[in-house]
Structure 1
Amino acid sequence: MLNESIAVTYNAEENHVSEYEVWAKTLLPQIELLANESLLSYEYRGTETVDGREKYVLNAAPTEQYRSDIEMSTTVYVDAETYFQARIDSEIRTEEYTHSSAVASRTSR
């Protein structure tokens, strides 16, 4: 279930409910962008434990190079249990500058 402030998942095997804070104005467009296969292609890198939880690690790359002077790298971490995006690390490099960012989702269990 997803509303404007909380996403709730239920694991029937464990009879466990998880709640995740979300910001609907930014979460849905971001998920839509990440899921758009015409914009991004993915390479599976395996799993890592991040903040005590197993995550699937994916490299994301734009399907088209918009400017030849920009290099982009993006790593997406997806929670192995809930399949929610847990973190995105990205870096943009040009001759003039490098910009790095990391966006992590806050969760509660």
Structure 2
Amino acid sequence: MDSLDIFFSVINHPIKITILKFMEENEHMGISFTDLMEFFLIDHLSIERVVLITNIWEMYNDHLLRKRNSPIGTLFELTESAKELNKIITDFDYWSKSHQFYGGI
């Protein structure tokens, strides 16, 4: 997929945006799938677990996440592309909020 396709695949899925923002805030360490489940308040037996797994692997396949094996299990980290995409989304959020007062989007 090219960069524009990846952008639209993320921007149309709020859960992916939330994952990007959460991981950016916790970039000093890798994030496990269990950490993400706790963040989203998802139970191990919940159907939402499948949705989260699907989103994680889609982001991995789009080269937005990389995985790292550690003694405690597999950890996910943001790639440089994901960090750039997160910056674009954050800048857009700020722009959108600043223009709403003046009749913007």
TM over 0.5: no
| TM-score under structure 2 length normalisation | 0.25
| TM-score under structure 1 length normalisation | 0.25
Higher strand share: 1
